[in-house]
């Protein structure tokens, strides 16, 4: 029988080397880079908790200290802010501590996203779970996990988040071959290719860093050989799941998301994300917009 159980746990891989952001990521995970005034990963954890996933497992690597400290209490800071009566900043400091039940597991060697997900097996057990990547920042005004959960409740198996992207950028993403369903925003995935050349891309859908996975993925990952870039790719495991029968936990659907998403994974997109979000804020937005306008006029 297909597993239609509801999703309760979130896995957040943060053990990648972040080479595109060196030297900033030499001793700090890239997920800790600030997007305006919050680390990227806090947006992701808040998104999970808002969707009802308050059991969060971080897959960490060699530099996990900043992550742990961020989601832990900072008594000294709390005391100072309390004494000053600065309740607004105090609330911003304690917000990340009170988010959910947070757990950590080490990946050891960063052998790829698929390998990172496999590290979650003991904690997750035999239930469906979500995977959220810190590189993709989904605007809190456009929650996508709830829509993905509805697709899973209907079809079972696994669900990935898709966005239409300009064809010439498809080689930056995982790309699925799809069949339509009776809903415009849901497709059945028949195959997947990690970062295909433009002329080999089976569609103009890109896989975005939100997944709901059937626990059958663990067994598939155990036998997944290193793929593109010598890494154990989650895409390759999803490709196998897509062809497996529903009774064995197979079947992959795509939910086509058309909300606001910001890419914080590479330097240019990261800067664009920070500026976009900052200009929309009530506190610093007006000042930044004025300054940007005069800055651009001077260029």
We find the least distance from the C-beta atom of residue 18 to ligand UTP, in angstroms, to be: 4
* Closest CB 20 distance from ligand UTP, rounded Å: 3
Question: Least distance in Å: CB of 207 to ligand UTP?
Answer: 11
Those residues with Cβ within 8 angstroms of residue 195's Cβ, 6 or more apart along the chain or in another chain: 171, 172, 173, 174, 175, 228
Q: Which of 7, 32, 56, 59 binds ligand UTP (CB under 6 A)?
A: 59
Q: Is position 134 an interface residue for ligand UTP (rule: CB under 6 A)? A: yes
Residues 229-288 that bind ligand UTP (CB under 6 A): 265
Q: How far is the CB of 129 from ligand UTP (least distance, A)?
A: 15
18 Rama class: left (phi>0) / alpha (psi -120 to 50) / beta: left
CB of 25 to ligand UTP, least distance (A): 7
- The number of beta carbons lying within 10 Å of the beta carbon of residue 6 is 10
Does 13 participate in binding ligand UTP (rule CB under 6 A)?
A: yes
Alpha carbon distance 121, 9 (integer Å): 12
Q: Rounded to 5 degrees, what angle do the CA atoms 268, 269, 271 make?
A: 65
Distance CA 117, CA 11 (A): 8
Which member of 16, 39, 251, 254 binds ligand UTP (CB under 6 A)?
16
Nearest approach, Cβ of 210 to ligand UTP (angstroms)? 12
Phi, psi of 200 (to 5 degrees): -110, 5
Torsion of CA 219, 220, 225, 226, to 10 degrees: -100
User: Counting contacts by CB under 6 A, is residue 133 touching ligand UTP?
Assistant: yes
Q: Rule CB under 6 A: is residue 107 a binding residue for ligand UTP? A: yes
132 binds ligand UTP (CB under 6 A): no
The one among 121, 135, 194, 236 contacting ligand UTP by CB under 6 A: 135
We find the least distance from the C-beta atom of residue 82 to ligand UTP, in angstroms, to be 35
Please pick, from the candidates 14, 44, 186, 212, the single residue that binds ligand UTP as defined by CB under 6 A: 14
Q: 3-state DSSP call for residue 236?
A: helix
In this structure, the strands spanning 9-14 and 101-106 are: unpaired
For ligand UTP, the closer CB: 100 or 110:
110
Q: Residue 211 to residues 40, 76, 84, 90, 144: CA-CA distances in angstroms?
A: 18, 38, 43, 33, 10
Interface positions with ligand UTP (CB under 6 A): 13-21, 30, 59, 107, 110-113, 115-116, 133-135, 265
């Amino acid at each position: 029988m297909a597993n239609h159980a509801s999703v309760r746990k979130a896995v957040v891989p943060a053990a990648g080397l972040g080479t595109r952001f060196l030297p900033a990521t030499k001793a700090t995970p890239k997920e800790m880079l600030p997007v305006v005034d919050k680390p990227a990963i806090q947006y992701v954890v808040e998104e999970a908790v808002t969707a009802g996933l308050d059991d969060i497992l971080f897959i960490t690597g060699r530099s996990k200290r900043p992550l742990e400290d961020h989601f832990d209490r900072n008594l000294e800071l709390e005391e100072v802010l309390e004494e000053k009566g600065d309740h607004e900043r105090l609330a911003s400091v304690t917000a990340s501590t009170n988010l959910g039940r947070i757990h950590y597991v080490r990946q050891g060697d960063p052998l790829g996203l698929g390998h990172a997900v496999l590290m979650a097996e003991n904690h997750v057990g035999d239930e469906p779970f979500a995977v959220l990547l810190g590189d993709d920042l989904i605007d809190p005004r456009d929650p996508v996990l709830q829509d993905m959960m509805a697709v899973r409740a209907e079809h079972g198996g696994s669900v990935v988040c898709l966005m239409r992207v300009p064809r010439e950028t498809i080689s930056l993403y995982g790309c699925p071959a799809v069949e339509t369903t009776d809903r415009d925003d849901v497709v059945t995935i028949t195959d997947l290719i990690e970062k295909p050349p433009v002329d080999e891309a089976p569609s103009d859908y890109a896989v975005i860093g939100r997944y709901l996975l059937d626990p059958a993925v663990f067994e598939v990952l155990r036998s997944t050989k290193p793929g593109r870039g010598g890494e154990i790719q989650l895409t390759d495991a999803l490709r196998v799941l897509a062809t497996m029968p529903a009774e064995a936990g197979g079947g992959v659907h795509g939910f086509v998301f058309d909300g606001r998403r910001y890419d914080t994974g590479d330097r240019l997109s990261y800067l664009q994300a920070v500026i976009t979000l900052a200009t929309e804020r009530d506190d610093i937005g007006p000042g930044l917009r004025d300054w940007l306008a005069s800055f651009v006029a001077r260029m």
